[in-house]
Amino acid sequence: MGVWWWFAVVMLVASASEPALSNPQINQLDMGCSTYNVSDVPRFFREINASFADLENQLSTGDDGKRFAITQQPVYTMIQCRNYLSKADCLACFSAAVSLSRMCSIATGARVIFDGCFLRYESNLFYNKITDEGNHPICGKRTGSKQDAFNTTAQLLLNDLVVATPRITSFFAAAKQEVSGGGATVYAVAQCIQTITPSGCQACLELAQSNIQGCLGKSAAARAVDIGCFLRYSDKHFFAINQTTNLAPFLVQGGSSGKKKYIIGGVAGGVGIALVLAAIVLLHQQSKQSKATRRGDILVATQLRGPENYRYKDLKAATKNFSEENKLGEGGFGDVYKGTLKNGDAIAVKKLAMVSSTAKADFDTEVRLITNVHHRNLIRLLGCSAKGEELLLVYEYMANTSLDRYIYGDKQGILNWKQRVDIIFGTARGLAYLHDQFHVCIIHRDIKSSNILLDDAFQPKIADFGLARLLPESKSHLTTKFAGTMGYTAPEYAIHGHLSEKVDIYSFGILILEIISGRRCSDIRVEPVTDEYLLEQAWKLYENEDYLGLVDKNLDPNECNAEEVKRMLEIALVCTQSPPNLRPNMSEVVIMLSTHLPIIQKPTKQVNNDDQ
């Protein structure tokens, strides 16, 4: 269809009040028209008017819950209302959007985004598109009370919405959460267009969350606008309280089909009395427990309580005195041991090494920061032990250990192509969260296969994030004993010490190449003719269009095709370009991995990396 011209982008957020309930919510957020004009004007108006009439009929005659409608060629049109609007308000919002779209006159396409609905039409199919260069946040002008506590609550609620919404059939969720200490409540919604895939919805919302992040801390209300999704939060309610979504079933690992039925029945007679008495006893026991220090319980490390303080002697016993048989691995930040708590929970305990004196003083603050990082593709830090000479970190335990064992270690060849693609995608989402979606930008600095752990379903979880903040200032982690780190490290960081998020993106590109090829990045391949490191070989194969030449020989050749491998190879090479401003950010990488649209930014090889 061509490039959009944003001749009108209105970024208005009511500073005095939010839109009232039971209205169409036609506060204009965004509008755009195509730069191309139709050739047959009378025919176009007949077709677009017919499409609008079809959309209106679908909304009017559908059931009360219908808030979405599309039409097919010759003009593709879509209307989607927020699910909390009544049918009458949805129709009113649609009518207002149609009226505004008339400003585009004979342009071949238009889109209008209100608080209450989204209208778009094009001459070309757009239903599978999730984002566009026009995506942007709209921050409110008003700050609220207890802004810090409000921000924390809003952040956690938005995190839950981004995870849950793609798993809900309608791709819509509304939720509210009271701010700790009372006095304020966060209201939020997330929605994706219903024509994209769950992974596309996830990617769009993660980008929206990245965009809206800049509003947190200075605005009590904000929106993130895109062509594939919508994200909004406020300290004032803009939907009915009884229209909230129960997110809990969709936050469980593996998601929810959204079709599970819950049977809620009345409890009668003696059974009801027994349950009430049991509840009273349970509450009494919990009250007694809360007065004592709870140790060794993996469940107490929650989002609200922060890190659990473990006793050194309990962790020593859990790991059998940090025995060799319990040792899981070694890393630049310390050795890791498997432990089993008294309640039977398995944990991973890291004995920190090389911690600076300054970091020791700030240890509790840094650990609390890391503990507040919650994402399904990041290892969860449960707590710590800071008493005595040794500093210990306690993590959730991953039975499938680290990715390097499955790429070129003792479990090489077990992962199929789909599993490898899923690992690449999950790792990208975890990094995007660290860079763009957490309230503090965390640069990992050591993205590599041994720092990617795998859960029971072989989903990736990034480990060791945030630990670089504990290193002595006089030492770089590059000088330590990690194997293969130099092969992952961006040239501007290794040579000049220039640190930015683009350092992690470079390492991620190398990681993609390792996952595809089954080769260690630091190994030299002497066949067929010249000595080549993995990145050098990847560039040569890409330039010769021999994409399948990079694929791990342990993979079934029928599992992947040349175009799919080419796409992964292009993303990897774009991520490893120099200078670093040529590399995309991680949210953009997630979008590349989520869609099948052509990679706009083709990789360009730079020769003089040392000069950057």
pLDDT (tens digit, 9 = 90+) per residue, 165-192? 999 999 999 999 998 777 789 999 999 9
Confidence grade of residue 212 (pLDDT, cut at 50, 70, 90): very high
- pLDDT score for 131: 86
Residue predicted with more confidence, 466 or 340? 340
Query: What pLDDT was estimated at residue 240?
Result: 86
| pLDDT tier for residue 358 given thresholds of 50, 70 and 90 | low
Do the beta carbons of residue 50 and residue 58 sit within 8 Å?
no
Q: Annotated catalytic residue: which of 446, 455, 464, 504?
A: 446
Select the highest-mean-pLDDT range: 70-79, 91-100, 131-140, 278-287: 91-100
**Average of per-residue pLDDT across 301-317:** 72
Check residue 398 and give its pLDDT: 92
Mapping DSSP to helix (H, G, I), strand (E, B) and coil, where does residue 447 land? coil
Backbone angles phi, psi at 208, to 5 degrees: -60, -40
Quick one: pLDDT at residue 472?
A: 47
In this prediction, residue 606 carries a pLDDT of 63
DSSP letter (8 states) at residue 553: T
Residue 11, pLDDT above cutoff 70: no
Residue 601 has pLDDT above 80, yes or no: no
What pLDDT, on the 0 to 100 scale, is given for residue 66? 80
3-state secondary structure of 424: helix
| 464-473, 487-496, 581-590: range with lowest mean pLDDT | 464-473
pLDDT in tens, 244-253: 999 999 987 5
Q: What is the mean pLDDT of the segment spanning 336-356?
A: 85
Tens of pLDDT, residues 405-414: 999 988 998 9
Q: Is the backbone peptide bond immediately before 491 cis, with ω within 30 degrees of 0? A: no
Is the confidence at residue 30, as pLDDT, over 80?
A: yes
Q: What is the pLDDT of residue 499?
A: 84
- Give the closest residue to 253 by CA, choosing from 393, 398, 353: 398
Q: For all residues of the chain together, what is the average pLDDT?
A: 80
**Residues of the chain above pLDDT 70, percent:** 78
pLDDT of res. 175? 95
Cα(192)–Cα(204) distance, rounded to whole angstroms? 8
Between 189 and 368, where is the model more confident?
189
Q: With bands split at pLDDT 50, 70 and 90, how would you rate the model's confidence at 355?
A: low
Go through the domains of the chain in sequence order and give each one's CATH number.
4-122 (3.30.430.20), 140-251 (3.30.430.20), 300-396 (3.30.200.20), 404-611 (1.10.510.10)
Residue 274 CB coordination number (10 Å): 11
Mean pLDDT over 384-400 rounds to 85
pLDDT of residue 420: 95
Confidence of residue 265 (pLDDT cuts 50, 70, 90): very low
Say whether pLDDT at 528 is over 60.
no
Model pLDDT for residues 373-383, shown as the tens digit of each residue? 878 899 988 98
Tell me what pLDDT residue 465 has: 86
Q: Of 72-86, 517-531, 588-602, which range is least confident?
A: 517-531
Q: For position 435, what pLDDT does the model report?
A: 86
Active site residue 446: yes
Q: Is the pTM of this model over 0.85?
A: no
Residue scoring higher pLDDT (15 or 384):
384
Banded pLDDT at 306 (limits 50, 70, 90): low
Contacts of 604 by beta carbon, 8 Å cutoff, 6+ apart: 577, 582
What is the mean predicted confidence (pLDDT) over 45-64?
88
Bridge partners, residue 54, by sequence:
none
What pLDDT score does 611 carry? Answer: 42
> How many Cβ atoms sit within 10 Å of the Cβ of residue 200?
24
Average pLDDT over residues 38-48: 90
**Average pLDDT estimate for 48-65:** 86
The predicted model gives 558-574 an average pLDDT of 92
Q: What is the three-class DSSP state of 591? A: helix
283: pLDDT strictly greater than 70: no
pLDDT at 466: 80
State which amino acid sits at residue 44. F
Give the Cβ contact number of residue 268 at 10 Å. 8
Lowest mean pLDDT among 75-79, 473-477, 493-497: 473-477
Q: Give the whole-number percent of the chain exceeding pLDDT 90.
A: 40
Backbone angles phi, psi at 357, to 5 degrees: -65, -35
Longest dimension (CA), the chain: 84
Tokens 């342990």 appear where? Answer: 554
- The residue-averaged pLDDT of 61-80 equals 85
How many other CB atoms sit within 10 Å of the CB of residue 511? 28
Looking at residue 56, what is its pLDDT?
92
> Among 211-220, 312-321, 329-338, 374-383, whose mean pLDDT is lowest?
329-338
How far apart (Å, rounded) are the C-alpha atoms in residues 98 and 555? 52
Work out the pLDDT band at 4, boundaries 50, 70, 90: very low
Residue 36 has pLDDT above 90, yes or no: no
DSSP per-residue string spanning 305-344: T--EE--HHHHHHHTTTT-GGGEEEEETTEEEEEEE-TTS
CA dist., res. 2 & res. 274, Å (int): 68
User: Using CA atoms in the order 570, 574, 577, 582, what is the torsion angle rounded to 10 degrees?
Assistant: 150
DSSP 62: S
The residue type found at 537 is Q
Residue 37's nearest CA partner among 1, 6, 64, 11 is 1
